Each structure stands twice: as structure tokens, then as C-alpha cells.
Structure 1
Amino acid sequence: MDKQQIQRRNYAAFLVHAFFLALTMNFIDINTVVPNMLAESGATALHMGILSSIMIGGASFMQLLFAGIIFPLKRKKPALLAGIYLRVAALMALGIFVRTLSGTGLWKVWTILALMTLFSFSGAFANISYTDILGRTIEATRRKRLLTVKQLIASVGVIASALLVKVILSSLSYPRNYATLFLLAGGLLMLATIGFWMIREEDAPMGEQLSLSQRFAAFGKVIKEDRNMRLYLLLINTSGVILSTIPFLILYARTRFPIDGSLTGTFLLVQMAGSLLANTLLTFFSQGQRYRRLLYLFVALAFATPLIALLSSASPLSFSLVFLLTGSTSALYQIVAPGVLLEISTDENRPLYAGLAGAGSLMNILYPILAGFLVPVLGFGMVFALTSIYILLGIYAAFAIRCERIS
């Protein structure tokens, strides 16, 4: 098999994985399904903040530990598959546990959070290998196209799964509806590994095993010497907190009107429509390999999302438009965040940079917990307004980052 055939095979492999992964993540959507399930189980704003901190910021931070383990490996695919199969086990256990629930209780909320932690952290372990394999097996000229097409294919697939989620949430009572979703998610995630079994991976450049102190020293050196990485960290620590803000939208909506499984499914459908719309437009109108305009657009949408949530009227129909925006914003982030990281790193330092990107995403850990404390004191209006102002700080990073393939 020649080089071009291997490129086509690897390109297809990432798209196969993206399709099944998209189906999986709909069943355990962090913005709609899981927050409403937690709320029905008796969770408070603080619990929602902990969930967001674990699923978004905490998972990224764990890459600090995992990068040192994975960096010296010649082949990253075994580590990638191990992380994914651990996620499958966590989902299956969560589905079985939720199926046994009756009523509410804080011990149930904490058990759910523990299983979601296992699911999230094993995903962080897999992501280090994923980023490195993507950078080494896909040519630079094909990367942005792959990320955009991957998002488009995923968006098309999740529309069908979102419809199924709505049917399950509407037709089954709590907790059977959520248990069914999690068990199906585990099965679909197992199917997603088909794509990674297809990948042809060559040996990575050799790296040495680093202790935790050495990793911190290496991270400090990168931050000191690489301005682009400093700006990248600024971006994900400001505008990037929109990801850990979205789960609070369900809690805010529950203060304005009742939300049942059917309405949760509707919000998910609208969110997926927003993602599909954004990816379709980017596929057809985003030319070349440049990221600058996408960075500006991401910051603008992230800034607007909390404000539009506050301005929407107290009805499910108008509030669903907020989830159209969250779908578009999340889709953009899934393109610009890995895309920019790939361009400012090299094959040799990419695992280190991926680990630093995760470890340096501190605000996605701190913000949701802080918001969970502040919401009962200041109210959603003040917290969302302050969040939008903070998100806007990322515009400087979007303007200042410099790389041949970014601007």
C-alpha cells in the first residue's frame, strides 16, 4: 500500500469514528441530556458546576498526567483503544445504575458524577493519542478539510440520533429513559472503534519518560518560549469557557418553565440543527486552510450565547433558539481548537502540547464550580452577563496568534 492509499485509508478511518462518536455523544449530551437527568435526580447548581468542571475542564487537565505516559510510546493506537474501551465500560455501568434508581437522593447524584468522571477521564487519556495520531497520519494540507468534513458528517448523523433520543425520552419514564440512552451509547461507542482499527500508524519519534516535575518544567519552557502557545491558552481559558457555561442553560430554563424528557429531546434536536447548519456553511464557504476568521466567529458566538439566553422570552419555543446557537458555537470550537493546536505544534512535540493545552485549561475547571456557588447568590442574570464579558477577552488571542497556516 503506497503513501496516498494509506492517507485515504486513514482519512476514511477518522470519518468512520467521527460518525459513530457523534451518535454516541447525543445519547449522553453534556448540554441537555445529562444536566436534566441530574436535575431530576435532585442535583443543585453546585452539582451542575461540578459536572461541567469534570466533563470539560477536569478531563482536559488530566491530560497533564496522561501526556507523560503516552509521549514515549512508539505506537499510540493501543493507548487510544484502551481509553475508549474504558469509556464503554463506564457508560454500561452508568446505564445499569440509573436503571435501578427510584426517586431522588444526593448519594445517587454523587454516584452518577463518579461514573461520569471515569467516562470523562478515560476520554482524556484517549484524546492525547488521538491528537498525536491525527497529526502524524494526516498530511498538513488535508487537516482542516478533514476536521470540517468530520464535523459535517457527524452533524448529519446526530440529527437521526437526536430524533431517537427524543422518542426514548418521551416514550419511556424516568429513569428507564436515561438508562436506555446510556446503554445504547456504550454500544455505539464500541462501534466507533472500528475506525481506529483501520488506521495505519507508523512509529512515532522516540521520546523519553518524564516525571511529573519534568513535565511541569517542560510545560514552563514551552509557555516561556512559544508565544503562540501562550495565546492559545489565553483563548481556551477565556472564550473556551462557553463550553462549561452551556450546561447551566438547562438549569436556568427550569426556573422559567417545566422541562420534561420530551422538551429535553427538542432542545437536543435544535442544538444538533445548529451544529449541522454551522458545519454545512463552513464546508461550502470556508476556503483554504486558514483559521483566523473562524476564530473571530467563534469568539463572537460564544460572547452572544449567554446574553441571548437572558433576553429570550420565558417560553420553550423561544428558548430553543438558544440551543441553535450553542450547537453552532460548539461545532466551531471542535474545528478551531484542535486545528490551531495542530498547526502550532510539530510531530515531535505534539503530545507535549496537547498535554499542556489540557493542563492549561484551568478556567474550565474553576469557572463552573465558581458559577455553581455564585448563581444562588447573584442569580443567573448577573452570572451570565459577567461570563459574556469574560469570554470577549479571547478576541485578543484570536487576533494576535501567528502561524503560517492560521493567517
Structure 2
Amino acid sequence: MAQDTTDVAYGGPGAVRRNALLFFLDGVTFQPSVALLSMTAVIPLLLEHLRASTTQFAIATSVVSLGTFVSQPYFVSLCSRSRRMARTFAVVLLVQRGLFLAFVLAMPLLADHAGLMTWLFLASWTVFNVLAGSGTLFNVPLVLKLLPPTRRAGLRGVGVAVGSVIALGAAALIPVVIERVAYPWSYMVLFGVGLAFLFANAAGFWFMREHDDPEPRVPMRVTEYLRDVPRTLSRDATFRAMVTSCVFLVVANSLLPFYTLHAIRTFGASEEHVALLASLAIVTGVAVNLGFGFVIDRRGAVALSPVAAAAATAAGVVGLVSGSLGGLTVAWVLANVGATCYLKTTMLMLGDVSPSGRAPSYVGTLFAISMLVSSVAVLALAPLLDALGFTALFVLAGGCGAAGWYVNVRVFQPRLAASRAERLRP
């Protein structure tokens, strides 16, 4: 009965069940695409086949963050003005995936021109990631709007776990397809399957049942959002501390593709081992989502958020002291634990920090700043790798993890506790 009463505030029990199922399917359909369309598996193999430089690899990695940063102001404005966020989000996702599909279909025409293929891929990948900037900006407010607090992590975590099992099969196909299917058709198959999952994923948001906001969101124009970012940071010390901690962790997480590059260039990792790394990342995601999701529902995201920083720090240390492919693989697993824990906790922590009706602005501010800093760090890492080797990678990853832990535990959490106590005072 109590649960039904709570559900009324989120559109009623029927709407909550429908939306919970669709968020579950969001994880089921999105995870397989990660194995086939990410900077940690298929794309590094494609770029190595095309003999891309370290700088080009860094560009491909940095636009994942930079593209998101560039589009943040527009998507914050769009999200704040959309009466039906889910359908608006679905349209953006369909456009994003359709444009990248155009590049995939053009690959046979570019097969004999490696340099041109590389630059056109980078252009298409940039557009893909610019539109991907809508992801968190719409996803977080939708979760907060459509699901009650007790249903925001558990079932969605199971969906991610189920999708990850499917993704294991997709990852296992990577070396098989590359070995048995001629270039460029092999990469067309892998990208095409990934896009099929992504189109199904976009459709799920179209069918969500969305109610009117109990408190109207604050509509913002792009210029208003840009002016609001420094104001939000200056007047909210708790949020400012959260942003600082998250910036360090996003930098550490954005370095993951370089672990794969290290495996290929330093240890001569084969397609099979790259697929193994992808599989380990998926298994790690399953373990974290199953073990973490329901615990977060009970203990809260804030209390468990330091785990992400601890794992990122450990990954940097292990990568620094080990000199083997096995040691790098352990560091890879730890880094993925940190990245998954970060994504799992940060989205929900924003619900504890952002005032009612201002979630899009807070989400946009957090991710815009963290993505900008991480993209600059990735671009700066390329010449350091050429000059100093991959030691620079692990020093940066471990240092950022340690700094993120310190700010979270010693600054952010005490400020949040004080803020909560202040609100409870009569």
C-alpha cells in the first residue's frame, strides 16, 4: 500500500511498472552496443588496422568527452524546455544513430584509402559523440522523474546485467568476425550489430509514459545556461565539491582506451586478447551492477561513491608496478570497476544535491566541466606517451583516483551532511 501511494507521485503504479520495465530494457539493449561501438575494443582495432597515429587515437578518445561538452548547453536548454523529455530524447538518439549508420554503409567506398577512412571515421565519431551529449542530461532527469527512489537502481542494474550477458556473446564474436570476414565488411558487421541494438534502445524511450512535472522545471535558453554555470558553482559549495571530485574520476575513467592501446602496442595483444579485455569489462559491469545496485537502494549512492575512486587509484598503482600483459589485465579490471561504480553512483547522487526542478542544470554543469577537463587531459596525454611511454598513463590515472577519493570523503560528504542537517532544522 505504501509503495502504491509513493507510485502515485510518479504517474501511478501502472506507469511506474511500464517505465521500470523500459529502463530495464534500456540496459538490456545498450550494453551489447558498448562491446561493439566503443573506444575500448573494436575501434582501437580499426584504428590500428588503418595505422592511425597516437594523436589520431587521442582525438578519437577525447571527442567522447569533448563532443559531450560542446553539446551540453544546447541539450540542457532542450531538456529544460521539453514537456515530454522521453520522446525528445528518443528523436535525438535516432538521429545520432542514423548518421553513424551512413558512415558504416560508406565503408566499402573508403576501404582502399586508409588516411581518408581514418579522418572520415573521426568526423563521424565526433558527430556521434556530440549527439551523445544528450544521454546523461535526459537520462538522469527521466530516472528522477519517472521512478521512485526505491526503484531507481535495482531493476535497472539487473537490466544492465542481462544486457552484459548478451554483450559477452557480442565480444566473443569480435575476433571471429575480424578473422573470417574480409575487411571492411568485418567492421561493418560489428558496427551494424551494435547500431541495431542502439536503434532498439532509442525506441524504448519513445514508449515511456511521462506525466507532468509536479513542480515545473526551470526552462533555460543556451545563454542562460552558460551564465548559470558559474552562479550555480559559486552559490552551492556542496555541489562544487562534488564537481571537483567527479572531475578527477572522469579524467581517470577517460583513460581506459589507452589501456587497450598499451596492450596492443607494448605487448602485441591479439584480437582475441582485446576481445578478452572487452569481456572482462562486461563481466565487471555485471558484477558491479548486481552487487552494487540493490546495495545503493538500501545504503544510498553517496555512502558508496568512494569505492569508484579507490578502484581507479588501485588500477593506476597496479599498472605502474606491473610490466606484463597479465598485470595490465588486472589494472584494466580495476579501472572498469571504478568507471562502473562512478556511473552508478554519480547519477543518483545528483538527486541528493540538486534542488527540485533544477536537475537538468546541475547535470549539465557537472558533466560539461568534467568532460571538458578530461578531453584536455586525453589530448595532452598523447605527446606524453610518445615521449615518456605508458608510465605517464598510470601516474595520471592513479593520481586522479586518489585526488577524487580525498575530495569526496574529506570535503563533499561533510558538506552534504551539514547541508542536510541545516534543512532539517525547525
* Rounded Cα–Cα distance in structure 2 between residues aligned with 1:293 and 1:108: 46
Identify if the C-alpha distance between structure 1 residues 279 and 31 changes in structure 2 by more than 3 Å, giving closer, same or farther: same
Instruction: Tell me by how many angstroms 1:146 deviates.
Output: 4.4
* Rounded Cα–Cα distance in structure 2 between residues aligned with 1:172 and 1:124: 33
Instruction: Tell me by how many angstroms 1:207 deviates.
Output: 5.0
* Rounded Cα–Cα distance in structure 1 between residues aligned with 2:238 and 2:374: 20
2:407 to 381, 392, 397: 397
Q: Which residue number in structure 1 is paired with residue 5 of structure 2?
A: none
Deviates more, 1:151-160 or 1:17-26: 151-160
Q: Which residue number in structure 1 is paired with residue 305 of structure 2?
A: 295
| 8 Å contact from structure 2 (residues 153, 293) kept in 1 | no
Instruction: Tell me by how many angstroms 1:126 deviates.
Output: 4.2
Deviates more, 1:166-175 or 1:380-389: 166-175
Q: Which residue number in structure 2 is paired with residue 360 of structure 1?
A: 369
Normalized per residue, which structure has more helix? 2
| 8 Å contact from structure 1 (residues 15, 153) kept in 2 | no
Is residue 4 of structure 1 aligned with residue 38 of structure 2? no
Q: Which residue number in structure 2 is paired with residue 305 of structure 1?
A: 315
TM-score normalised by the chain length of structure 1: 0.90
Q: Which residue number in structure 2 is paired with residue 161 of structure 1?
A: 170
| 8 Å contact from structure 2 (residues 27, 156) kept in 1 | no
Q: Which residue number in structure 2 is paired with residue 85 of structure 1?
A: 94
Post-superposition Cα deviations, 1:368-401, rounded to whole Å, max 9, x if no partner, equal 0010122112221134213321331111332132
1:226-375 alignment, distance < 5 Å: 226-283=236-293, 288-315=298-325, 317-361=326-370, 362-375=372-385
5+ residue gaps, structure 2: 1-7, 422-426
| 8 Å contact from structure 1 (residues 68, 209) kept in 2 | yes
Whichever residue aligns with residue 406 of structure 2, its letter is Y
Instruction: Tell me by how many angstroms 1:11 deviates.
Output: 0.8
* Rounded Cα–Cα distance in structure 1 between residues aligned with 2:420 and 2:17: 24
Whichever residue aligns with residue 183 of structure 2, its letter is Y
| 8 Å contact from structure 1 (residues 144, 289) kept in 2 | no
Whichever residue aligns with residue 349 of structure 1, its letter is R
Identify if the C-alpha distance between structure 1 residues 126 and 272 changes in structure 2 by more than 3 Å, giving closer, same or farther: closer
| 8 Å contact from structure 2 (residues 259, 328) kept in 1 | no
Is residue 382 of structure 1 aligned with residue 387 of structure 2? no
1:48 to 39, 45, 57: 57
* Rounded Cα–Cα distance in structure 1 between residues aligned with 2:138 and 2:212: 13
| 8 Å contact from structure 2 (residues 153, 297) kept in 1 | no
1:11-160 alignment, distance < 5 Å: 11-102=20-111, 105-160=114-169
* Rounded Cα–Cα distance in structure 2 between residues aligned with 1:171 and 1:381: 36
Instruction: Tell me by how many angstroms 1:293 deviates.
Output: 4.3
Post-superposition Cα deviations, 1:166-223, rounded to whole Å, max 9, x if no partner, equal 4323433433222211111121111113422331101245456544432222122211
Q: Which residue number in structure 1 is paired with residue 234 of structure 2?
A: 224
Whichever residue aligns with residue 7 of structure 1, its letter is V
* Rounded Cα–Cα distance in structure 2 between residues aligned with 1:109 and 1:384: 27
Q: Which residue number in structure 2 is paired with residue 189 of structure 1?
A: 198
Instruction: Tell me by how many angstroms 1:283 deviates.
Output: 4.5
Structure 1 counterpart SS, 2:133: helix
Structure 2 counterpart SS, 1:401: helix
Structure 2 counterpart SS, 1:288: helix
Identify if the C-alpha distance between structure 1 residues 264 and 174 changes in structure 2 by more than 3 Å, giving closer, same or farther: farther
Identify if the C-alpha distance between structure 1 residues 397 and 143 changes in structure 2 by more than 3 Å, giving closer, same or farther: farther
* Rounded Cα–Cα distance in structure 2 between residues aligned with 1:268 and 1:379: 23
| 8 Å contact from structure 1 (residues 46, 372) kept in 2 | yes
Whichever residue aligns with residue 279 of structure 1, its letter is N
* Rounded Cα–Cα distance in structure 1 between residues aligned with 2:83 and 2:261: 45
Instruction: Tell me by how many angstroms 1:57 deviates.
Output: 4.1
Identify if the C-alpha distance between structure 1 residues 371 and 38 changes in structure 2 by more than 3 Å, giving closer, same or farther: same
Structure 1 counterpart SS, 2:357: coil
Post-superposition Cα deviations, 1:252-290, rounded to whole Å, max 9, x if no partner, equal 222323234333222211221222222333246556141
Provide the identity percentage: 19
* Rounded Cα–Cα distance in structure 1 between residues aligned with 2:356 and 2:111: 50
| 8 Å contact from structure 2 (residues 85, 138) kept in 1 | yes
Whichever residue aligns with residue 190 of structure 2, its letter is L
Whichever residue aligns with residue 401 of structure 1, its letter is F
Post-superposition Cα deviations, 1:126-177, rounded to whole Å, max 9, x if no partner, equal 4322222211111123223345334333333322322233432343343322
Identify if the C-alpha distance between structure 1 residues 295 and 170 changes in structure 2 by more than 3 Å, giving closer, same or farther: farther
Deviates more, 1:96-105 or 1:34-43: 96-105
Structure 2 counterpart SS, 1:30: coil
Whichever residue aligns with residue 241 of structure 1, its letter is V
Count of aligned pairs: 406
Q: Which residue number in structure 1 is paired with residue 207 of structure 2?
A: 198
Identify if the C-alpha distance between structure 1 residues 232 and 98 changes in structure 2 by more than 3 Å, giving closer, same or farther: farther
* Rounded Cα–Cα distance in structure 2 between residues aligned with 1:160 and 1:136: 34
Post-superposition Cα deviations, 1:302-360, rounded to whole Å, max 9, x if no partner, equal 11223323433434x55433332233222212201211123212441011112112221
Q: Which has the higher contact order (CA 8 A, sep 6+)?
A: 1
Whichever residue aligns with residue 274 of structure 1, its letter is T
Structure 1 counterpart SS, 2:267: coil
Whichever residue aligns with residue 253 of structure 1, its letter is A
Runs (4 or more) in structure 1 with deviation over 6 Å come to 404-407
Identify if the C-alpha distance between structure 1 residues 228 and 172 changes in structure 2 by more than 3 Å, giving closer, same or farther: farther
5+ residue gaps, structure 1: none
Identify if the C-alpha distance between structure 1 residues 193 and 223 changes in structure 2 by more than 3 Å, giving closer, same or farther: same
Identify if the C-alpha distance between structure 1 residues 103 and 254 changes in structure 2 by more than 3 Å, giving closer, same or farther: farther
The alignment's C-alpha RMSD in Å is: 2.6
